[in-house]
Amino acid sequence: MEFLRNNQSTEVPRLDSVKPLEKHYSVTLPTVSHSGFLYKTASAGKPLQDRRAREEFSRRWCVLSDGVLSYYENERAVTPNGEIRASEIVCLAVSPLDTHGFEHTFEVYTEGERLYLFGLENAELAHEWVKCIAKAFVPPLAEDLLARDFERLGRLPCKAGLSLQQAQEGWFALTGSELRAVFPEGPWEEPLQLRKLQELSIQGDSENQVLVLVERRRTLYIQGERRLDFMAWLGVIQKAAASLGDTLSEQQLGDSDIPVIVYRCVDYITQCGLTSEGIYRKCGQTSKTQRLLDSLRQDARSVHLKEGEQHVDDVSSALKRFLRDLPDGLFTRAQRLAWLEASEIEDEEEKISRYRELLVHLPPVNRATVKALISHLYCVQCFSDTNQMNTHNLAIVFGPTLFQTDGQDYKAGKVVEDLINHYVVVFSVDEEELRKQREEVTAIVKMRVAGTASGTQHAGDFICTVYLEEKKVETEQHVKIPASMTAEELTLEILDRRNVSIREKDYWTCFEVNEKEEAERPLHFAEKVLPIVHGLGIDSHLVVKKYQSMEAMLLYLASRVGDTKHGMMKFREDRSLLGLGLPSGGFHDRYFILNSSCLRLYKEVRSHRPEKEWPVKSLKVYLGVKKKLRPPTCWGFTVVHETEKHEKQQWYLCCDTQMELREWFATFLSVQHDGLVWPSEPSRVSRAVPEVRMGSVSLIPLRGSENEMRRSVAAFTADPLSLLRHV
């Protein structure tokens, strides 16, 4: 009952209050005048599937004036054969060269579901016509879209995850793999990078289709109100979002500029193949490898590798073949020789410096891919006792693959071996990044070993029970935890399932709760969940709830001077008595200094040498102290330090006031995470739900929380047409 009372104001997207679509661009279009001969075909009511021969075009004198494009039999004719009103044009598309009988052609789509095809041989004249027609039907609010040479330009009804109540008519321009958009009263937005989409899908039936585009922290629904131009938009967007060629930069890319095809394979091997004997040395079945590679090349975004469906050797072979077949190679033809020559430098420091220099000069996508791949191989060799693939063995396999040699040049393998051995230095990997990487991989391996011992095998994603607000049967959710999931993503996932919206100043967080220790730890939003899941004991669980003290902590961090914290606290060390596990000793006053590197304990303020010192980034800080220790105040926290031998040490500290506790804990979070305690993006907190009127919010990017976006996608998936049925 308490849970229900706390959430009685939980909001669910309203899908029934939808008003008819209205146009919010200015009805006063610019005055554009232009005239000249154009070649046109008869208008069509369906997409042009076949090439139109030159003989199918008729030469017409065309005049663009007063918002009307008229075409005449010749320049002397008085009465036009037909006309197209600029206000009725919904899309203008420039066809690739030689698509039809004329070298340069463009298409005009109208509200009446008609398609007009025009052509010219002269590139300059064709370009001038396209610009003039665009200026005639595009309103002033979207005139910035005309600044570039677009492939398609037009208006479409659409909705976004933040505002499902009202559709807007946005103006879109497609240039290469970028989709730019302008909305009524909305600010200019960054373009959608179509090859970096997390999702591109079509919902609804054949008569009522909706295109869903999901990029990081923003989503967009485009409705097929006018089927003719919608199908054309759908085709070009799908093509622009696919891999455009064989080079790395032409692949579908992730947020870090790593090709999705590489990420999919590396992630699968990391989760399912680190302990596989001979991984990468063994070859998969040729037919299965080729089918998998073809699927990944066609649309890697839609390929989800699952254990039991794909064998690790098939996946590893697909990755090697992809890298070997790159036309320019991973290290590029221009730099390949320089990399090989660098491997022969005798002085180790000079050689590493040369590698770092060459790395900087690689194209961004190649550089990101090299780091991701070497990072992965570094993890693989960490388990060489099990998989029999040490650094040298991996170098023998990947040297010829990455440098595309016949295996006769030993220098190729030497480069790979050097990069793995000096991975931390060459790629400037800091201690925290390396620690998180090791924890994640170790957690995966341990859980797989445990699964093998119990007769069960996991497929990379591990099931965990997470509670909302409190530990009760009715609040539990069973969630798949992939290796890449962060605490923020898990929090949003749980909130989405229960349709809980994030209001302003709501700080929802995932907590690790240890019932036995009577303590809890709010996970940092960027912290990987999988290692936490692996380390949970039988008395521990995860719960998503509001962090009531976060606002006060953020205010304190914003107002403090300096990065250190010092002061007196009550301290007690957890020592066992005669091996019985009974804590001994009591709480004593101690002076503490916390800075970016360590936490120091002094017997008193005047002491010059600390009694104890702990590296701050290796500490886990839990709120709360076990009652059986009889803490002197209720404002205490538990500090846990795990040694290199995996031995855990615990200390208990108590403050005099709640404010002191918040200040200490805030400082811990700040120094452990380099000042980034809470996500800085405004999308973490949603704005108030706007009135049902046009122009009240920007559709893209999504400026509410990612939770809003995810919930909208969930609602949309349940009933796609309900969002746009009355548009």
Domains and CATH numbers, the chain: 29-137 (2.30.29.30), 260-450 (1.10.555.10), 462-547 (3.10.20.90), 553-673 (2.30.29.30)
Burial of 620 (0-12, 13-18, 19+ CB in 10 A): middle
Whole-number pLDDT of residue 29: 56
d(CA 120, CA 106): 9
Two tokens, residue 674: 């380099």
22-36, 38-52, 540-554, 650-664, range with the lowest pLDDT: 22-36
pLDDT in tens, 520-548: 999 999 888 887 887 777 788 999 999 98
At residue 221, what are phi and psi to the nearest 5 degrees?
-110, 125
To 10 degrees, what angle do helices 410-421 and 391-403 make?
120
Q: How far is CA 678 from CA 555, 639, 682, in A?
A: 12, 21, 11
Closest by CA to 367, choosing from 617, 375, 597, is 375
The full length of the chain comes to: 727
Mean pLDDT of the chain: 80
Two tokens, residue 504: 């302003």
Per the CB < 8 A criterion, the answer to whether 106 and 130 are in contact is yes
Per the CB < 8 A criterion, the answer to whether 218 and 272 are in contact is no
**The model's pTM:** 0.58
pLDDT in tens, 588-640: 999 999 988 889 999 888 888 888 888 888 899 999 998 888 899 999 999 98
The residue to which tokens 């891999």 are assigned: 243
Whole-number pLDDT of residue 448: 63
Burial of 656 (0-12, 13-18, 19+ CB in 10 A): middle
Cis before 140? omega within 30:
no
pLDDT in tens, 295-330: 898 888 878 787 778 899 999 999 999 999 999 899
| CB-based contacts of 291, cutoff 8 Å, min separation 6 | none
Q: Give the CA radius of gyration of the chain.
A: 31
d(CA 514, CA 536): 8
Contacts 24+ apart (CB under 8 A), 297-304: 297/243, 297/261, 297/322, 298/242, 298/243, 299/242, 299/243, 299/252, 300/243, 300/251, 300/252, 300/259, 300/260, 300/261, 300/264, 301/197, 301/198, 301/199, 301/200, 301/241, 301/252, 301/260, 303/264, 304/264
Got the DSSP string for 179-224? EEEE-TTPPP-PPEEGGG-SEEEEES-SSS-EEEEEETTEEEEEE-
At residue 222, what are phi and psi to the nearest 5 degrees?
-115, 125
End-to-end CA distance of the chain: 40
Whole-number pLDDT of residue 386: 87
